[in-house]
Amino acid sequence: MTNKLLAILALLVSIGYAHAQDDTDSSALAKKYQTGFAVYAEFGVLPNKSFKGIRDQMKALNIEPFEPVMASIVLARRMETDKFFMESRLILMNSSKYKDDNNAMRGMFRGIGLGVDASPKFVNSTRWNLLVPIGWDIMLYQLRVKNNKSASLAQVIQNPNNFTSMKLYNGSFNLHAGIGADYKMNLFPKVYDKVYLSAKATYHLPIFKRGQWRGDDVTITDLPSFKANQLYAQLGLVFFPKRNHRTWRGMH
């Protein structure tokens, strides 16, 4: 399961890079499109039953669960015209709880994925873009139960399995759609052509998913599968570097 998802991720990355290279090599598109980069924080804003179900099962087994908030950092490459925008997304999800409690087992939940957003610009004024972003994400999730025990070297050598973390994997292909707005700010005009404060609210719906959590040698039958269906809020900054600035020269 893990290898298949990683292979799909690698294929999508290669397709994206090839497409980006084609765009870069075309002088007509270079004049038509502007290219920038973005950094977003993304949070789930509605209760998620599968997320809560995993946490509840951990509590029942005396495992300290991960945080109840689904949070991600999203790194994006934006391409836009006066009438259209598209973003390629790298999603880094992490809801783990980090503590130094001795002799405690704790749950960790992470995810990584690639995705695309695109939309016409329904409003493009001197200060605002109004968007209806529609796109997809392919995600690989890791659920980990980490031991945080103190022990002597002899104890670890004699019972190594007692000090080994459990790692399980799951994945899904999600569609999403929502609304968004960019507020255009005149920040750092010597370095950037444009800087946006960007916000989106999108609903994610899993279309294809792996039903059961799997490890290297085991399939878990009684742990709820993770379903990403909920509303997400996203807030971040979008930067369009000046092509002739020495900081970005050679990167376009």
Which H or E element spans position 196?
A: strand 192-209
Calculate mean pLDDT across residues 137-160.
81
Give the pLDDT band (50/70/90) at residue 149: low
- pLDDT over threshold 60, residue 77: yes
Give the pLDDT band (50/70/90) at residue 202: very high
SS3 209: strand
pLDDT at 27: 46
Q: What is the pLDDT of residues 170-200, one digit of tens each?
A: 999 999 999 999 999 988 888 898 999 999 9
Closest CA to 37 of 88, 112, 73: 88
Task: Return the structure tokens found at 26.
Answer: 């075309």
Residues 162 and 167: their CA atoms lie apart, in Å, by: 14
Give the pLDDT band (50/70/90) at residue 237: very high
pLDDT at 91: 96
Closest CA to 6 of 232, 169, 122: 169
Calculate mean pLDDT across residues 39-50.
91
Per-position DSSP letters for 60-121, written without gaps between them: HTT-B---SS-EEEEEEEEEE-SSEEEEEEEEEEE-------TTEEEEEEEEEEEEEEEEEE
Between 31 and 133, whose confidence is greater? 133
pLDDT at 101: 61
Closest CA to 91 of 45, 168, 44, 39: 39
Per the listing, tokens 């695109």 go with: 118
pLDDT at 23: 45
Residues in Cβ contact with 212 at an 8 Å cutoff, skipping those fewer than 6 apart: 170, 219, 220, 221, 223, 225
- pLDDT over threshold 50, residue 245: yes
pLDDT at 107: 87
